C-alpha cells in the first residue's frame, strides 16, 4: 500500500486493532465488489476474518489475487463440501494428553498456551479446533511438569498455537522459566506467524528473553510468500539472528499463493536476506473449507522437482505431509536407499 502507517506501531496496539470486518478490508484495498464482499461475509461466519493492519500494508491495492490477501480473505468457496476435507484432519483431538498438551513425537512435546492468533489463515488445519476448552491454566503446570518427568525422552518443548507470540513477554517469561527448571529440556521452540504479520512483536524484551535462556531457543516463523518479508521485517528478524537465536521458516504450498518453483525460490532467497533457514514446505492438510488451496499431486511433484533444480540445497525446504498417527512428519520427496 501507499505509506507504512502501522508497521512500526507497538505490537499490543496492533493486536487490539485488527481488521475483522470484510467490508473494511476490501475498502482499504479498493476492492469493494459485491461478489467478493458477500462471499467474505458468509465464509467469515464459520471462521472469522482477522488480520493485522501491518500485514494489509504489505498487500497490493486493487488486486483481488494478491497472494497475501488470498490467505486471509474469507471466500465463498470455503463453504463447499469436498470429499476427504474434514474438520480435524490430523486427529489432534485424540492426541490430547493434558490441557494444552500434544505429545505425538518422541523427543518433542507441543504446548498450546493460547488459542488466539494474530491472523486467521484460511487454510489453517486448526480452523475448527476447540482451543478454548483446552488451555492450561497456571495450576496445570504441576501436571505438565509431572508428565515431562515421566517422559524423560522429551528434550524439546514447542510452543505452538494458537500463536504463542500473542502472549505478553511476561507470560512467556513465566513459562520459559518453568521449562528451564527441568534439566531434561534442551530446546525451546516457538512456532509463530506474528513476526511476519506484526514484525514489531520482536521487541527488546522478547529478544533478551530468547537470547538469555539456558535453553537453545529456536523460532520457527511462518511465511508463504516473499512479499510478506519487507525490509522492516528483515531488520526485525536480524535482531534475533544477530543474538544467535536460530530462526527457521515453514511454509504451506498453496494454490494461487505460492504454487510455482519461481515463487518458492524467491521466498527462499528472501529468507536468506533475513538470515532465516527454509525448514519445511508443507502440503495442505485436508481441512474442511480449504479445498480451493489444494494442488494435484502431479503439480506438487513438478513444482518441487523444479525447485530442487533451481536452488542450492541449503535453501530447499523439506517437502512434508503430516499424517495422523505417524511418528514424524512424512517426507514426500526421494526414497531411502536402504
Ligand atoms: C510438527 C509437529 C512437531 C514438530 O515436528 P518437527 O518435525 O520436529 O518439526 C511436534 N509435535 C506436533 C504435534 C507437530 O505437529
Ligand atoms: S495457527 Fe498459524 S496458520 Fe493457523 S490461523 Fe493461527 S497463525 Fe494462521
Under 8 Å between Cβ of 26 and 60: no
Q: What is the mean pLDDT of the chain?
A: 94
pLDDT band at residue 182 under the 50/70/90 scheme? very high
- Please tell me the distance between residue 329's alpha carbon and the centre of ligand 1 in angstroms: 7
**Per-residue pLDDT at 121:** 97
- For the stretch 141-175, pLDDT in tens is 999 999 999 999 999 999 998 899 999 999 999 99
All structural domains of the chain with their residue ranges: 11-79, 92-331
C-alpha to C-alpha distance for 147 and 228, rounded to whole angstroms: 38
> Residue length, the chain?
338
Specify the CATH architecture of the domain 92-331: Alpha-Beta Barrel (3.20)
Ramachandran assignment for 244, one of left (phi > 0), alpha (psi -120 to 50 degrees), beta (any other)? left
Q: Which residue has the higher pLDDT, 193 or 3?
A: 193
Flag whether pLDDT at 180 surpasses 60. yes
Q: What is the DSSP letter of 3?
A: S
| pLDDT(322) > 60 | yes
The residue to mutate among 114, 117, 194, 287, having the most atoms of ligand 2 within 8 angstroms of its beta carbon, is: 117
pLDDT at position 185 = 98
Q: Tell me what pLDDT residue 270 has.
A: 98
Picking from 86-100, 188-202, 223-237, 301-315, which range would have the lowest pLDDT averaged per residue? Answer: 86-100
Ligand 2 pocket mutation pick from 68, 89, 163 by most atoms within 8 angstroms of CB: 163
Residue 284, C-alpha cell as written in the block: 495442505
And the C-alpha cell for 85? 476435507
CA–centroid distance, 79 to ligand 1, in Å, is 29
Cα separation, 255 vs 295, whole angstroms: 6
The predicted model gives 226-233 an average pLDDT of 98
Structure confidence at residue 336 (pLDDT): 61
Amino acid at each position: 500500500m501507499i505509506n507504512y502507517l502501522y508497521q512500526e506501531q507497538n505490537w499490543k496496539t496492533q493486536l487490539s486493532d485488527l481488521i475483522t470486518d470484510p467490508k473494511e478490508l476490501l475498502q482499504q484495498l479498493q476492492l469493494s465488489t459485491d461478489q467478493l464482499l458477500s462471499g467474505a461475509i458468509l465464509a467469515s461466519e464459520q471462521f472469522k476474518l482477522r488480520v493485522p493492519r501491518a500485514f494489509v500494508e504489505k498487500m497490493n491495492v486493487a488486486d483481488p489475487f494478491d497472494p497475501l490477501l488470498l490467505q486471509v480473505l474469507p471466500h465463498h468457496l470455503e463453504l463447499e463440501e469436498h470429499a476427504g476435507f474434514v474438520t480435524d484432519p490430523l486427529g489432534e483431538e485424540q492426541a490430547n494428553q493434558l490441557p494444552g498438551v500434544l505429545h505425538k513425537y518422541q523427543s518433542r512435546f507441543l504446548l498450546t498456551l493460547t488459542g488466539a492468533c494474530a491472523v486467521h489463515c484460511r487454510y489453517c488445519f486448526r480452523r475448527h479446533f476447540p482451543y478454548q476448552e483446552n488451555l492450561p491454566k497456571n495450576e496445570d503446570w504441576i501436571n505438565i511438569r509431572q508428565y515431562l518427568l515421566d517422559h524423560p525422552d522429551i528434550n524439546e518443548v514447542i510452543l505452538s498455537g494458537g500463536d504463542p507470540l500473542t502472549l505478553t513477554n511476561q507470560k512467556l517469561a513465566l513459562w520459559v522459566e518453568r521449562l528451564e527448571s527441568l534439566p531434561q529440556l534442551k530446546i525451546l521452540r516457538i512456532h509463530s506467524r506474528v513476526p511476519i504479520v506484526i514484525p514489531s512483536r520482536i521487541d527488546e524484551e522478547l529478544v533478551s528473553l530468547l537470547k538469555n535462556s539456558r535453553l537453545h531457543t529456536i523460532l520457527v516463523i511462518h511465511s508463504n510468500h516473499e512479499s510478506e518479508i519487507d525490509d522492516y521485517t528483515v531488520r526485525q528478524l536480524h535482531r534475533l539472528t544477530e543474538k544467535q537465536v536460530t530462526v527457521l521458516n515453514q511454509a504451506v504450498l498453496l494454490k494461487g499463493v505460492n504454487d510455482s518453483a519461481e515463487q518458492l525460490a524467491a521466498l527462499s532467497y528472501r529468507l536468506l536476506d533475513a538470515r532465516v533457514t527454509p525448514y519445511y514446505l508443507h502440503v495442505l492438510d485436508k481441512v474442511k473449507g480449504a479445498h480451493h488451496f489444494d494442488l494435484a499431486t502431479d503439480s506438487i511433484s513438478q513444482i518441487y522437482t523444479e525447485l530442487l533444480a533451481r536452488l542450492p540445497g541449503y535453501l530447499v525446504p523439506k517437502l512434508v505431509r503430516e499424517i495422523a498417527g505417524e511418528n514424524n512428519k512424512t517426507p514426500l520427496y526421494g526414497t531411502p536407499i536402504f
